[in-house]
Amino acid sequence: MLRFEVNFVDVLPMMALATESELTSLLDDWKHGDPSALQKLTPIIYDELRRIAHRYARRERNGHTLQTTALINEAYVRLAGEESRDWQNRQHFFAVTAQVMRHILIDHARRRRSLKHGGDAAQVSLDEATAMTNERAAELIALDEALAELAALDPRKSQVVQLRYFAGLSLEETAEALAVSLMTVRRDWRAAKAWLYKRVMSNE
């Protein structure tokens, strides 16, 4: 009987994905003040994320957890085209990536919220594509707002959270990216987490 030669690493790419240069130029457009570039990035990012996620999910022998660290790294490297861009250094790369990721996710969450009642067909299809639920959107927006408040109180702690949460960095990598000690990051993280948790919960 015939079947695809299913390679559990690289399944048949039915559709070629956006190339790195296309991603790069969208990012550039956005940096130069074109807010619509962010909206165009969203489906691309999620397509990419879905593809990578499924690939990693298949690798798990028992299929219960996701090998996410590798996943995140791959997504970010592709998103930022690490090799093809002129990053001043690793810190710069991570800082920009975290910021971009935060903007993309929050922007999507906000549009989801504001368009929810309009029945916008495009938004509905995008929501389908990104699997973003109301709860998830609310969660992201609340976190974003709390993070902005934290930034006013304690910029470094908000940086730590941004790097950890939006760029997926470990404590060690965060320490490296911010050029502070691991101990400092650990302490910043636990305090920031408590503060944000309290802040976000009080809004529920």
Partner 1 sequence: MTSRSYSSLITHYSLLITKFMTPERWQTVEETLQAALDCPASQRADLLAKACAGDADLQRETTSLLEAHEAAGDFLEQSALERDAQLLIDSDDRQTRAGTAIGPYEIIERLGGGGMGEVYLARDQRLARLVALKILPAYFVSDAERLRRFQIEARAASALNHANILTVYEFGESDDTHYIATEYIDGRTIRELIAGESLTIADTFDIAGQLLHGLSAAHAAGIVHRDIKPDNVMRRKDGEIKILDFGIAKLIEDANSDVSLLTSRATSRTEVGAVLGTIGYVSPEQARGLAVDERTDIWSAGVVLYEMLAGRRPFSGATNADTIVSILERTPAPLFGDEPKARPLKMLQRIVGKALSKDAGARYQTAAEMLSDLTEVETEMAAGSRKNGGINAETTLVELRELAEVRASASRFALSIATLAVLALVVIAGTVLYRRSVARRSIPPPVPTVYAQMNEAQQLQFINEQEQRVSAMMGERPVKLNDEALRAIKVVVDRYMAPPQPGEPSLSEIYARAPAYLPVIANEFNARRIPIVVGIYLPVIESAYQPCFENVAGAKGLFQFMPATAEHYGVARADMCDVNKMAPAAAHYIADRMAELGDDSQSMTLVLLSYNRGAQSVLEELRLLRETDVHYERNFWTLYANRDKLDQTFRNESAYYVPAFFAAAIIGENPTAFGLNMQPLSTQVPNRER
Query: Any idea what the Cα angle at residue 94 is, between residues 143 and 178, rounded to 5°?
Result: 85
CB atoms within 10 A of CB 78: 19
Kindly state whether residue 148 participates in binding partner 1, applying the rule CB under 8 A: no
Kindly state whether residue 141 participates in binding partner 1, applying the rule CB under 8 A: no
Q: Smaller CB distance to partner 1: residue 91 or 139?
A: 139
- Options 4, 32, 118, 179; binder of partner 1; rule CB under 8 A: 4
Kindly state whether residue 12 participates in binding partner 1, applying the rule CB under 8 A: yes
CA 194 to chain centre: 22
Q: Interface with partner 1 by CB under 8 A: which range of 19-27, 88-96, 174-182?
A: 19-27
Binding to partner 1 by CB under 8 A, coded x per residue (else -) over 33-72, reads ---x--xx-xxx-xx-xxxxxx--x-x-x---xxxxxxxx
Which residues, numbered 162-201, are part of the site for partner 1 (CB under 8 A)?
Answer: 164-168, 170, 187, 190-191, 193-199, 201
CB of 90 to partner 1, least distance (A): 15
Cα–Cα separations (whole angstroms), residue 152 to 26, 109, 140, 156, 168: 30, 23, 19, 10, 23
Distance CA 137, CA 132 (A): 7
CA 43 to chain centre: 12
Q: Interface with partner 1 by CB under 8 A: which range of 20-28, 87-95, 174-182?
A: 20-28
Q: Smaller CB distance to partner 1: residue 70 or 92?
A: 70
Distance CA 167, CA 29 (A): 21
